[in-house]
Amino acid sequence: MTKALKVLAECVDARSGKRFQPGDEFQPVPTLAQANRLISAGCLPEAARELAEKADAEDEKKAEAAAAQRKKDEEAALAFVTARGVKSAADLAVEDAKAKVAQAVRPEEKTSAEKQLASAEAAAKKAGDELAKLTK
């Protein structure tokens, strides 16, 4: 048991509602604001403030890391959704180009439609490759 968290006078943990008696160990470590109140009330020794500051700093680091991970996950999800949209649009362009090739009557129309088809297929392949990279 750490002396810094040894309860000096009866108190209640505002977070959990748990009641502590003199001599008990106050667990978990209180927040800095809570430690300040309990120290002022004579429930915890002054040393509890240092532990609370340390715990708050650790919690802040964890929160920052979690926020950074959440941002990274959101960016990855947005990239995936965008890539999926690009792939769908490319697939539709391929289908349209195939229809134009099938409908072409004159040789120059057919040549133009085949070029559009080749271009659309290349774009669809590229979009598919990008999507595949994101799903790994």
Query: pLDDT at position 72, please?
Result: 94
CA 54/CA 44 separation, integer angstroms: 16
- In terms of residues, how long is the chain? 136
Q: What are the residue ranges spanned by the domains of the chain?
A: 70-136
DSSP codes, the chain: --GGGB-SS-EE-TTT--EE-TT-B--SPPPHHHHHHHHHTTSS-THHHHHHHHHHHHHHHHHHHHHHHHHHHHHHHHHHHHHHHHHHHHHHHHHHHHHHHHH--SHHHHHHHHHHHHHHHHHHHHHHHHHHHHT-
Task: Give the chain's mean pLDDT.
Answer: 91
Alpha-carbon distance values, 121 to 102, 131, 132 (Å): 16, 15, 16
Q: Confidence band (pLDDT; 50, 70, 90) for 46?
A: very high
Contact at 8 Å (CB) between 44 and 8? yes
- Higher-pLDDT residue of 136, 20: 20
The yes-or-no verdict on residue 1 having pLDDT over 80 is no
